[in-house]
């Protein structure tokens, strides 16, 4: 129990950890004030049973009680505020830390499983830490402190009763330790089930169109229902595991109280304890096990807190790429790959590639699907680190740049555009956060999207759905280009940016791309002949290797993949229905 509490305080960070520590100090004062009920009770009993003026003792007892209650209320408020702030701030700051950490992980980490786990940690796990954990820690620590203060008071009045109370508390915590160990496995399984449930929900929602199109409602819903059932079962099982221990803890507290009452009576009959003390100790016994039961009931959730902390730390401890390089401004924007190899999950994707891309030239990368085209671009932009060889920008290895200074040199337009659930203006300004509205409009005009934006209900302040769901593919693509224009980076990577655009939008999109790429170093992945034929060099990639390289005219004179690619495209264009 105490180890888990210490782990949570460390996880909360220095500032929030200090809030928890201060709240515990205040909680100690609150516990002491709460324990002052015992001297108040003893004081009034002396007045009632000691044959002395009752008024004086009633007044004194009330004074002690009022002071104790006022102190307890003030301390309760202060400690609750501190622990609540600490819990929610720890949750919020950890979300930010995770988001920052994810920026520097290799792209290979991100897949359907990791996305589900990340989503679960940043939603369920952080919610548990911010809400449940803070309450559990608060109630558990306060219960421990109050129990200790009551034992201290009992020791002051009668060391024998104090020792009996301490023995009962030790036995109680022994059972509590057994409960913690018994629930450890199920607590871990609960987090696994929660993660799987989030993954299935995300997959179901992302694939809802395919689910409907192919009538997969039953199959997909079954996987979601299975994950939901598994989560329900593990939560039920956890409760069932803890029930016997809760019962045993309750029995121990009741027995301890009964032993205190019996011993007090025995000591009174034996003449070694006065009637006042015997009655006072009997009343105190009930106060003792009330605090203990509070501690026991909530401490069963501490292992869930521990697992949640471990899950968040597991992401934060993932090895990032070496991102703490130098702030470098390259002298030129020449890109060079020298004998680069790269493998993913032990499968070689890029195999000994060497390539030179002079600044302000256009390089088109073509080849069969799965050949390594996108991976090559990812290595150039250092989304992944090469296994061997090197990638240089301006003659400097990209690993020597800090991640931010390297990214300042690149802008990207992907085939699959992602827009955030925000205004159109803010989505464009992601390219440069400090841009004015006039600059946003200018970028939108260059990207040929000002006209359709102006027709929207709130113009540039129109909030679009997550992923840009409320816009067409061509509209999203042009906003993505406006974002890249706004960034005005010297190197543009186009990953099949026009592959899925309808003919009605193609002309405007091509104009937008032309505006974006003027006087830039262009690296494009494309399948359309008219997109690549005017490139300064065309690189043909197959099975992770460059198998051909040259201009369109040069490659058309060679037998190989590129010529077959062009011939197949021309034959497809000339194909007609027979009459």
DSSP state for residue 224 in the 8-state scheme: H
**Cβ of 534: how many Cβ atoms within 10 Å?**
11
| pLDDT tens figures, 401-419 | 888 888 889 888 877 777 7
According to the model, what pLDDT value does residue 299 have?
A: 67
> How is 385-442 classified by DSSP, letter by letter?
--SEEEEEETTEEGGGB-HHHHHTTEEEEESS----SSBHHHHHHTT-TT--HHHHHH
What is the pLDDT at residue 336? 93
- pLDDT of 215 over the 70 cut: no
% of the chain at pLDDT higher than 90: 5
Q: What is the mean pLDDT of residues 330-352?
A: 88
* pLDDT beyond 60 at 428: yes
**Same fold for the domain at 2-316 and the one at 410-488?**
no
Tokens describing residue 310:
């471990």
The helix (run of H) or strand (run of E) holding residue 174 is: helix 159-206
CB 294 within 8 A of CB 246: no
Instruction: Give me the phi and psi of 463, to 5 degrees please.
Output: -85, 125
Residue 491's region, left for phi above 0, alpha for psi from -120 to 50, else beta, is beta
Instruction: Indicate the pLDDT class of residue 526, thresholds 50, 70 and 90.
Output: confident
SS3 5: helix
What is the per-residue pLDDT across 490-515, written as a single tens digit (0 to 9) for each? 898 887 766 555 555 566 666 667 77
300 or 482, which is more confident?
482
Q: Is the pLDDT of residue 578 over 50?
A: no
The CATH T-level fold of domain 322-409+521-579 is Rossmann fold (3.40.50)
If one looks up domain 2-316 in CATH, what number appears? 1.20.1560.10
- Range in 112-116, 344-348, 481-485 with the lowest mean pLDDT: 112-116
Q: What is the mean pLDDT of residues 422-449?
A: 85
Top pLDDT among 220 and 320 is at 320
Please say whether the beta carbons of 489 and 409 come within 8 A: yes
Q: What is the mean pLDDT of residues 197-222?
A: 64
What does the pLDDT look like over 218-275, one tens digit per residue?
555 677 778 788 878 877 877 787 778 878 888 888 888 889 889 989 998 988 988 8
Reduce the DSSP state of residue 318 to 3 states and report it.
Answer: coil
Q: What is the mean pLDDT of residues 112-139?
A: 70
Q: What is the pLDDT of residue 108?
A: 63
8 Å CB contact between 539 and 363: yes
Environment class of 240 (CB within 10 Å of its CB; exposed 0-12, middle 13-18, buried 19+): exposed
Q: Would you state the structure tokens that stand for residue 386, as one six-digit string? A: 């090469």
Q: How confident is the model at residue 23 (pLDDT cuts 50, 70, 90)?
A: confident
- What pLDDT, on the 0 to 100 scale, is given for residue 503? 58
Q: For residues 160, 161, 165 and 171, what is the CA-based torsion angle, rounded to 10 degrees?
A: 50
User: Taking the domains of the chain in order of start, what are their residue ranges?
Assistant: 2-316, 322-409+521-579, 410-488
pLDDT tens for 49-60 read 766 667 777 777
Separation between Cα atoms, residue 18 and residue 9, nearest integer Å = 8
Q: Give the bridge partners for 491, in sequence order.
A: 410, 521
* Domain 410-488, CATH among 1.10.10.410, 3.40.50.1820, 3.90.1150.10, 3.40.50.300: 3.40.50.300
The pLDDT of residue 275 is: 84
Say what the pTM is: 0.62
- Cα(309)–Cα(313) distance, integer angstroms: 6
Confidence (pLDDT) at 579? 47
The pLDDT value given to residue 335: 92
- Residue with the bigger pLDDT between 68 and 529: it is 68
């Amino acid at each position: 129990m105490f180890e888990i509490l210490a782990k949570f305080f460390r996880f909360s960070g220095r500032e929030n950890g200090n809030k928890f520590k201060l709240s515990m100090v205040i909680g100690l004062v609150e516990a002491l004030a709460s324990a002052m009920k015992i001297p108040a009770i003893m004081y009034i009993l002396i007045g009632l049973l000691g044959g002395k003026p009752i008024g004086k003792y009633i007044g004194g007892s009330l004074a002690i009680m009022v002071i104790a209650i006022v102190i307890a209320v003030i301390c309760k408020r202060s400690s609750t505020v501190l622990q609540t702030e600490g819990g929610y701030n720890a949750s919020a700051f950890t979300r930010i830390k995770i988001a920052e950490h994810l920026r520097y992980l290799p792209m290979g980490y991100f897949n359907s499983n990791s996305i589900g786990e990340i989503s679960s940690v940043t939603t369920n796990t952080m919610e548990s830490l911010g809400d449940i954990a803070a309450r559990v820690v608060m109630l558990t620590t306060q219960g421990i402190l109050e129990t200790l203060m009551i034992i201290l008071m009992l020791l002051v009045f009668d060391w024998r009763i104090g020792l009996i109370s301490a023995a009962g508390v030790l036995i109680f915590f022994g059972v509590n330790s057994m409960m913690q160990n018994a629930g450890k496995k199920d607590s871990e399984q609960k987090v696994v089930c929660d993660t799987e449930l989030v993954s299935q929900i995300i997959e179901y929602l992302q694939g809802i169109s395919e689910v409907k199109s192919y009538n997969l409602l039953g199959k997909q819903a079954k996987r979601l229902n299975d994950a939901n059932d598994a989560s329900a079962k593990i939560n039920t099982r956890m409760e069932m595991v803890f029930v016997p221990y809760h019962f045993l803890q309750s029995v121990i507290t009741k027995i301890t109280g009964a032993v205190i009452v019996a011993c007090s009576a025995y000591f009174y009959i034996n003449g070694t304890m006065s009637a006042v003390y015997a009655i006072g100790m009997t009343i105190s016994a009930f106060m003792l096990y009330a605090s203990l039961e509070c501690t026991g009931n909530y401490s069963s959730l501490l292992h869930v807190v521990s697992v949640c902390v471990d899950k968040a730390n597991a992401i934060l401890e993932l090895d990032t790429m070496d991102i703490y390089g130098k702030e470098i401004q390259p002298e030129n924007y020449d890109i060079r790959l020298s004998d680069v190899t790269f493998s993913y999950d032990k499968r070689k994707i890029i195999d000994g590639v060497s390539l030179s891309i002079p600044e302000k030239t256009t390089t088109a990368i073509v080849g069969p699907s799965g050949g390594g085209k996108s991976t090559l671009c990812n290595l150039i932009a250092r989304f992944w680190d090469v296994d061997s060889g090197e990638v240089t920008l301006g003659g400097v290895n990209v690993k020597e740049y800090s991640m931010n200074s390297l990214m300042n040199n690149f802008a990207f337009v992907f085939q699959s555009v992602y827009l955030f659930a925000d205004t159109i203006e803010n989505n464009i300004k992601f390219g440069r956060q400090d841009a004015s509205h006039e600059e946003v409009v200018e970028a939108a005009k260059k990207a040929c999207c000002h006209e359709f934006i102006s027709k929207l209900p709130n113009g540039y302040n129109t909030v679009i759905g997550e992923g840009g769901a409320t816009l067409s593919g061509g509209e999203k693509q042009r906003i993505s280009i406006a974002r890249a224009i706004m960034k005005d980076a010297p190197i543009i990577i186009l990953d099949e940016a026009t592959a899925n655009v309808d003919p009605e939008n193609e002309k405007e999109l091509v104009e937008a791309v032309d505006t974006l790429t003027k006087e830039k170093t262009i690296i494009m992945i494309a399948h359309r002949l008219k997109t690549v034929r005017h490139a300064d060099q065309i690189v043909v990639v197959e099975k992770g290797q460059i198998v051909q390289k040259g201009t369109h005219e040069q490659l058309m004179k060679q037998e190989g993949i590129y010529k077959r690619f062009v011939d197949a495209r021309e034959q497809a264009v000339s194909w007609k229905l027979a009459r």
